[in-house]
Amino acid sequence: MGIDSTAAGQTASEPADDVTLTDATLGDAALAARLATEAGTRLLEIRAELGFEDGPALRAAGDAGSQKLLAAALGHHRPADAVLSEEAVDDRARLAADRVWIIDPLDGTREFAEDGRSDWAVHVALWEGGALTVGAVALPALGATLSTATITPPAQAESGPPRLVASRTRAPRLVTDVAERIGGVVIPMGSAGAKAAAVIRGEADVYLHAGGQYEWDSAAPVAVALAAGLHASRIDGTPLRYNQVDPLLPDLLICRPELAEPILAAIEEFSAG
């Protein structure tokens, strides 16, 4: 099963066995958590093997190593399913498929290649018949995996201003504008998965993004966030749709439900202006 963050009130499980030995009857949610965790373990091994002296080589090895593991495991366990991955050629046969795994083998390659950083992730999600049904976000450097199979709502919001997580290198102006309007504070952070996980774990209240993303950047985080009872939508409030012809999905809002209305209203006002 997945390993949920102890910070969010979950209990960490024992390390997963080799994915090729997994019981063939393992359910989709448990499989997603297992694969995300296993890919994360492989990424930690690659970090240890190569070190941090050559960043580009480390990033390339991480992308390739995690993709190889996930592709082989999905081919073994779910050979009839389609796969959409950041690190593979887009097979448009997925558009006619009933089941599509949407994966990001290494979310946050910049942070992965920086010694001491933990804000990177592995995403594994399943889309079925028009909706996300399963998701897992592994945070390998934290020893945690958040899964739709086991996630629980975050703890009650702390007193104080709402905490908005945003890109540490290219935070959109919209984030600072919205933070000012709702009296919030902005916390810089790395990958999309890490930012979404911070909200899911109760370490932040809002993840607002408007700088360009693809389906693999948000599918697994959105699946887990929705399972935790959080709000997830486009920044105009419309639903997030996956397995589209063009996988570009440029904006995203994940937040505590009580913050959705004031944030969406602020976004609409700024957009109109």
pLDDT in tens, 131-163: 999 999 999 999 999 999 999 988 877 789 999
Is residue 157 one of the residues assigned to a domain?
A: no
Supply 28's token pair. 């989709």
Both 140 and 15 in one domain: the answer is: yes
Both 99 and 190 in one domain: the answer is: no
Mean residue pLDDT across the chain: 90
| Integer CA distances (angstroms), 99 to 25, 45, 80, in order | 17, 31, 9
Both 22 and 95 in one domain: the answer is: yes
pLDDT in tens, 87-96: 999 999 999 9
CATH number for the domain including 251?
A: 3.40.190.80
Is residue 206 one of the residues assigned to a domain?
A: yes
CA 2 to chain centre: 14
Is residue 153 one of the residues assigned to a domain?
A: no
Both 133 and 30 in one domain: the answer is: yes
pLDDT in tens, 51-67: 999 999 999 999 999 99
Both 22 and 94 in one domain: the answer is: yes
pLDDT in tens, 223-256: 999 999 999 999 999 999 999 999 999 999 999 9
Domain that holds residue 89: 6-147
17 or 141: which carries more pLDDT confidence?
A: 141
Is residue 113 one of the residues assigned to a domain?
A: yes
Both 234 and 169 in one domain: the answer is: yes
How many Å is the Cα radius of gyration of the chain? 18
